[in-house]
Structure 1
Amino acid sequence: MKLLILFTVFCYSVTALELPSYITACSKSSPDFTNCAKESAKTAIPALVNGDTKYHIPKLNPLTIDEIIIESNGQLKIQLHKAKVYGLSDGKLTDIKLDEKNGVLDISLDIDNLNIQSDYEINGRILVLPISGKGPANITAVGGHYNVKVNFDLIEKKGVKYLKLKDTDVKFDVKRAYFRLENLFDGNKELSDQMNKVLDDSWKDVLKDIGPAIAKAVGAIVEQLAMGVFERVPYDKFFLP
């Protein structure tokens, strides 16, 4: 019974935290809500990218994602292992909208240079060409504008409301994307170089197949922040009445 009481107290203490000093609370009913959030993000993002153990937020530059799996219409399968995601430190919040009734938080971000480095496995067809291999991968998205829809529930603990993440949906546009997959075709350098040139020359079409990796990386970043802060700080301390 003593252990159960201690465990209950510990769980509650984990969630009932004050807003971090580097985040400014904004009034959700204020006409200046978006500008307030933008100003808050200017100081919050540089602090958050270094991680915060109190809120269980890991280091975000880079953020390590154990595995990203992409399957495209049964024609292509890509697996990224131990992916490291760089670039959030230069991210800028450009817009934010809160729909409390439907449980949606729309966040718009600009990230000038998002880079993913990982080990990969690929098999199938891309641009109707057969492709296979495993080795180091480097994916870079330049001039990216990302819209992240955060779907959430409001849950109550001891009379206090908390935002609980359900899922995220990411859509984005980029000015340019670069893909480099080493060791394609069992290490055949000539074929590997030719395929990488095709990937580079046709980056807009390639983005349709490999782009979901970028979306999942950005979604993972937002989810880490949401679970770290939103699920531990009472809702009304983050979004003022």
Structure 2
Amino acid sequence: MLKVECVVFFAVMSCLEAAKLPSYIIPCSASDPNLNECGRKHAQDALPSVIKGDPKFKLPSLEPLKLPEIKITSGNLRVDLLNVIIKGFDNAQVKDMQIDLKNKHISLTVFIDKANLLSNYEISGNILILPIRGKGRSNITFAGGSYKYDFDYTLKDKHGDKYMIMKNNKLDFKTERSYFYFENLFGGDNQLGEQMNKFLNENWETVEQELGPAITQTMSTIITSSLNGIFDKVPFKDIILQPNPA
């Protein structure tokens, strides 16, 4: 059973009054025959501003993204990543967006060439078939990562307008390669530490399956909170422009 605990520094609060969409986010029209491409292009155009963060909409700065900790428990393996710094969002590319207004479903696919996660770590238990323990600095890199974020939504009446309420959000990812380095394994035994790091990188796909879900769960929490920061404040009609009634 995989258990993930994520701690994030920010919270998204509902706003009592409607706000305008940030100037760096350009809405698309529901009647646009190329709605998906419009959404993808405008999401890509907005990305540099989104990465910088926006306190008005509770958007955190993403380059770098700083988190106090990510905790992972899988079987008898326990990993605590502390004082986490994640870099790489500034090279993100929005590859696809699918907006299904009829079924109230949106998906977004982003490619990140290299996502680098630096932290202090504490690890104990077994990974694959080998015992592992240690405490020190760690470096985890996901290369060629494709991240797909899906969510459903409902519309809720508030302040005389309809607002998006997210549900069933999910983040999946695939990488071309992952790299792992944990210093000071086995109490600083250099030979055992080098052998273990070599083993982790030779079996990177399996190790990614052990550690990846916690990291993606953290990212999903951040994405959801960031989107809610906008959806809580901006009416749906200003996010997806509605055609004028006949």
TM-score (norm 1): 0.86
1:163 equivalenced with 2:167 (yes/no): no
1:140 equivalenced with 2:149 (yes/no): no
Question: How many residue pairs end up in the alignment?
Answer: 229
Aligned with 2:33 (options 20, 31, 34): 31
Alignment of 1:34-49 (within 5 A): 34-49=36-51
Cα distance 1:151–1:78, how it changes in 2: closer, same or farther (>3 A)? Answer: farther
State whether residues 69 and 80 of structure 2, in contact with CA within 8 Å, keep that contact through their aligned partners in structure 1. yes
Q: Please list every run of at least 4 consecutive aligned residues from structure 1 whose deviation after the TM superposition is greater than 6 angstroms.
A: none
2:20 aligns to what?
A: 18
Q: Deviations over 1:36-74 (max 9, x none)?
A: 1122122210011111112121211111223222222x2
Q: Tell me by how many angstroms 1:220 deviates.
A: 3.5
1:208 aligns to what?
A: 209
SS in 2 for 1:38: helix
1:183 aligns to what?
A: 184
Q: Tell me by how many angstroms 1:81 deviates.
A: 2.0
Q: Which stretch of structure 1 is more off in the superposition, 106-115 or 214-223?
A: 214-223
Aligned with 2:65 (options 41, 63, 71): 63
In 1, the alpha carbon distance for the partners of 2:35 and 2:103 equals 18
Alignment of 1:68-147 (within 5 A): 68-72=70-74, 74-100=75-101, 103-147=104-148
Identity fraction in percent: 39
In 1, the alpha carbon distance for the partners of 2:178 and 2:237 equals 40
State whether residues 85 and 217 of structure 1, in contact with CA within 8 Å, keep that contact through their aligned partners in structure 2. no
State whether residues 71 and 78 of structure 1, in contact with CA within 8 Å, keep that contact through their aligned partners in structure 2. yes
Which structure dedicates a bigger proportion of its chain to helix? 1
Q: Tell me by how many angstroms 1:130 deviates.
A: 0.6
Compute the RMSD of aligned alpha carbons: 2.0
Cα distance 1:118–1:101, how it changes in 2: closer, same or farther (>3 A)? Answer: farther
State whether residues 92 and 110 of structure 1, in contact with CA within 8 Å, keep that contact through their aligned partners in structure 2. yes
In 2, the alpha carbon distance for the partners of 1:99 and 1:200 equals 40
State whether residues 63 and 221 of structure 1, in contact with CA within 8 Å, keep that contact through their aligned partners in structure 2. no
TM-score (norm 2): 0.85
SS in 1 for 2:205: helix
Cα distance 1:120–1:154, how it changes in 2: closer, same or farther (>3 A)? Answer: farther
- 2:69 is aligned with what amino acid? E
State whether residues 28 and 98 of structure 1, in contact with CA within 8 Å, keep that contact through their aligned partners in structure 2. no
State whether residues 84 and 116 of structure 1, in contact with CA within 8 Å, keep that contact through their aligned partners in structure 2. yes
SS in 1 for 2:139: strand
State whether residues 60 and 226 of structure 2, in contact with CA within 8 Å, keep that contact through their aligned partners in structure 1. no
The one of the two structures with greater contact order (alpha-carbon pairs below 8 A, sep at least 6) is 2
In 2, the alpha carbon distance for the partners of 1:231 and 1:190 equals 53
Q: Deviations over 1:63-111 (max 9, x none)?
A: 1223222222x23222222322211111111122234455432111111
- 1:21 is aligned with what amino acid? S
